[in-house]
Amino acid sequence: MENELIIVLDFGGQYNQLIARRVRECGVYCEVRSYRTPVEEIQKLAPKGIIFTGGPNSVYDESSPHIDKAVFELGIPILGICYGAQLMAYTLGGEVKTCTTSEYGKTDTVYDKTGKLFDLVPEKAVSWMSHTDYVAKVPKGFRITAHTANCPAAAFESVRRRLYAVQFHPEVNHTMFGMSMLDTFVKKICKCKANWNMKNYAKTAIAQLREKVGDGRALLALSGGVDSSVACALMAKAIGDRLTCVFVDHGFMRKNEGDEVEAAFRDSGVHFIRVDASERFMAKLTGVSDPETKRKLIGEEFIRVFEDEAKKIGKVDYLVQGTIYPDVIESGTGDAAVIKSHHNVGGLPACVDFREIIEPLRMLFKDEVRKLGTELGLADYLVWRQPFPGPGLAIRVLGEITPEKLEILRDADLIFREEIAKAKLDRDINQYFAVLTDMRSVGVMGDGRTYDYILALRGVTTSDFMTADFARIPYDVLESASVRIINEVKHINRVCYDVTSKPPATIEWE
């Protein structure tokens, strides 16, 4: 069964991935594409609907992102959100002006229930606004379907042309009935049957991978984390014994993790190879303290190790990675800024000795990856394994990496994870770990002065890893972890807990 598709055209909005996420929650597959995507390419993709995102620009500024007017003539339903709404009005002959009173945050909104998006919405409810421009005049053939005290056209539509626009953000939780509006657009206006689920996704993905690889062979970069483990299960079902999984122990693993990964996959039925590359990775990173440089050096060295192993195996056509959607977004795509280069995306070298790199999970969020793993029959402890970045402890030791710092962090991190598990919080906190900072502080131990490292603990709750809130870990659990770390791990005399959400922070510190 072919998945129905909704396309989100990105105009630089901060919520572009969240829109895609919400559409998927409606049971419809969705992808984010650049606003620069040619109309001809959009036609080939044959989407059931298109959504324009918000953005920080003003549509009347010539340097701002604009769209080919022909997209409105495709006959495909379009929903414009915030900047997308203003763009629709501006492009089709309406008028956009600067607000005399800007609207930010929760805003009382009045809805016309005869509007196609609002049949399940009450006449008055709160929406989430974030704009300094507004639609002063809607294009000919459109009618206004919502307003606020300061925004005369908070929503408008042309049912005949299948064009709809809202100034507010229905994708954020702060907009009451926002999911109802998106569900109405996707199912009632775009006529989607909502047939996207993990069972269908898995079946389609396996068939596509089998066709792509053909008679070729693939090498999978296996870290033992949930992403690469699920990619392994998917590829194994697609190409069977023509898949070889290579686990590269780069020397930056958590305590005992290399042995745990080997135990999990050695007898799993797939070809498994463990490579001890710790010396070559450490040689590459000696003296390096910049986090972006770390990530890029690690990404390139991973590829070189895989190339070496591929030559030992024989002819290998494809390299498979467990890249997921948040990795791609943070590494920068199109007009998006690079937040941090993931070793398997932005850290890749320009030239690789493989015909192609396959990323079967590239368009999935973390919780979707876990659902897929369960659908594929992957062991529960692998599906729910704590996320661990590809560069490992190399980006959790801030500044220059040394063997001594790595050992300090391994011991401290293990204690923190043990205390979280003991408190039965390991399923409630989506990611938790320790960070060895590059700072030292004065302390008192045994009536003597110490001057040792500050350790930071981090815990977050999130569903998709695009946004995250710091975990409210009980004080007694933090205290227990802190006391054990300071008493059992040498060279740490102070423990701090990170209470920053994402954004503005990222989940990892580097």
Q: Which residues are catalytic?
A: 82, 169, 171
Q: What are phi and psi of 508, to 5 degrees?
A: -80, 160
Parallel, antiparallel, or unpaired for β 271-276 and 318-320?
unpaired
Tokens of 433: 């770990």
Residue entry with tokens 């629709």: 88
Q: Are 119 and 112 in contact (CB under 8 A)?
A: no
The one-letter amino acid at 460: V
CA 358/CA 318 separation, integer angstroms: 7
The one-letter amino acid at 453: Y
CA 129/CA 113 separation, integer angstroms: 20
Exposure class string for 86-121: b at 16+ Cβ within 10 A, else e: bbbbbbbebebeeeeeebeeebebebbeebbbbeeb
H/E run at residue 501: none
CA 235/CA 237 separation, integer angstroms: 5
Query: Which DSSP string do the residues of 86-155 spell out, in sequence order?
Result: HHHHHHTT-EEEEEEEEEEEEEEEEE-TTSTT-TTS-SEEEEEEEEEEEEEEPPTT-EEEEE-SS-TTSE
Residue entry with tokens 């494809």: 318
Closest by Cα among 385, 392, 352 to 248? 392
Measure Cα distances from 354 to 207, 307, 309, 318, 386 in Å.
22, 8, 12, 6, 30
Q: Are 140 and 95 in contact (CB under 8 A)?
A: no
- Three-class secondary structure assignment of 371-401: HHHHHCCCCHHHHCCCCCCCCHHHHCECCCC
Q: What is the dihedral of CA 17, 18, 20, 25, to 10 degrees?
A: 150
Q: What angle is formed at CA 475 by the lines to CA 469 and CA 480, rounded to 5 degrees? A: 115
CA 163/CA 10 separation, integer angstroms: 17
CA 360/CA 208 separation, integer angstroms: 10
